[in-house]
Amino acid sequence: TSLEIGIAVNPYAPGFAWALVLASLAGQLAFSMYRAAGLWRGLHTMAATTPVIYLPTVASSFASAGALGALGHSDWGLLFFGAGMFSWFSLESAILARLRTGPALAPAVRGIIGIQLAPAFVGGNAWLAVNGGQVDVFLLLLVVLAQCADCCPAPGLSLLTLAGVGFCCCATLGPGLGF
C-alpha cells in the first residue's frame, strides 16, 4: 500500500513520494528474496502450494512496476514488470499442478483461490503504467488470459462448474498454455 500512497501523494509532494516509493521498493525486494528463498530450501510442502505464493514476488513486482511507471521511471518499471512476469510463469505451473493433482484445499483456505485470477489483471495495470497507457497487443493478450482464468482457473474449478452449469469456455486456452 505504501507504493500506492507514493503515487497518490506525488502531485503534492514529489520528493516525499519518491522517498516512500524507494523505501517500499527496498522492503519489497528484501521480503521477496526472503520468501522466495524459502521455496528453494526444500521445506515447501505440496499443501502450501497455493495461489498465496504469488504475492511476494508476482504481486509486489507488478505493484512496483506500476508505481515506477506512474512516477515517470518506465525503464526501471519494466525491470520489475519482467521480474513479475517470469515469477508468474515459473509459479503458475506448480500451483495448477497442485490444484489439479493434489488433495483438495481445506475449507478454511478455499477463499484464497481468488488470488489465482489476479496476476493477469494486475500485470495488465502494471503494463499500462510502464508503456505510457497504450492499449497494445500484449495488453489485449493479458486481458484475454485474465478472462480465461476467470472462466476456468483450473479444470474442475471453473466458476461456471461451481455454479452447476458444467461448462468452461476457456478450458483449453488458459490452463492449456501452462499459465
Q: pLDDT for 105-134, tens place per residue?
A: 888 888 888 888 899 999 999 999 999 999
Predicted confidence (pLDDT) per residue in 69-83, tens digit = 999 999 999 999 999
Can you give the pTM of this predicted structure? 0.81
Q: Are 132 and 74 in contact (CB under 8 A)?
A: yes
